[in-house]
Amino acid sequence: MKLPPLVQAFVLHFGEMGSRWGINRTVGQIYALLYIAPEPLCADDMVDQLGFSRSNVSIGLKELQSWNLVRLLHQPDDRRDFYTTPDDIWQIVRTLVEERKKREVDPTLSVLRELLMQTPGTAEERHAQDRMREMHELIELLCGWYDDVRRMETERLVQLLSMGAKVQKILEMKDRLFTLPGGKRKDKEG
C-alpha cells in the first residue's frame, strides 16, 4: 500500500470490519479509500494506492455501485471513470440501511408472510407459525419505525439520536400522566 500511515490504518481497519458487515475486505478497503480521498479517484489510482489488481478494483467498484454507495464522475478531457462517495455521511448511512433492508429484511418478510398464509397441519406447525407470527410482527413494527425515521430531516434525526435514555424518561412521564389513581390507564391503548 502506498498510503500515509494514518490513512493506511483507516483503510486496513475498514477492510477488516467490512468482512464482519458482509462485504469482502477488498471492497471495504476500496470504499474507505474513496471516502477519505480529497478528490475523486480512478481505478488506476486505487490500484496504485492499495496494491490490488485492476480486476479486483473493478469488481469491488461494481459491488459498491450495486449498493449505491459510490458515484461515477467524469473529468473534462479524461476518458477514465472517476469515483467518489456521497459527501453527506447521513446519506451514506441512509443508503446502507435501505440497501440492507431491501436485501435482507424484505425477503424475510415475504417468506414469513407466505408461511403464515399456509394452513398448519400439525401442532408443531401451529407452534412454529405462532413463533413466526411474533417475528413477523416485530419486523413489521421495526419497518414502520424505520419508515418514520427515514423521512426525518437529518437535524431532527440527530436530535432524536442525541436524546438516548431521555426517551425512556419521556415515556415514563407519559405513563404517569395517563394513569388514574389505582393504576388504571386513562387511554385505551395501554
> How far, in Å, CA of 136 to CA of 73, rounded?
41
Q: Check: CATH 1.10.150.120 for 5-84?
A: no
Residue 10, judged by CB atoms within 10 A of its CB (0-12, 13-18, 19+), counts as middle
Average pLDDT value for residue range 52-71: 95
The pLDDT, as a whole number, for residue 174 is 83
pLDDT tens digit sequence for 86-105: 999 999 999 999 999 999 99
How many residues can be counted in the chain?
Answer: 190
Beta-bridge partner residues of 188: none
* 49-50-56-58 Cα dihedral, nearest 10 degrees: -40
pLDDT tens digit sequence for 147-189: 999 999 999 989 988 888 888 888 888 888 887 666 676 665 5
pLDDT exceeds 80 at position 15: yes
pLDDT tens digit sequence for 119-145: 999 999 999 999 999 999 999 999 999
> How far, in Å, CA of 163 to CA of 40, rounded?
36
pLDDT exceeds 90 at position 56: yes
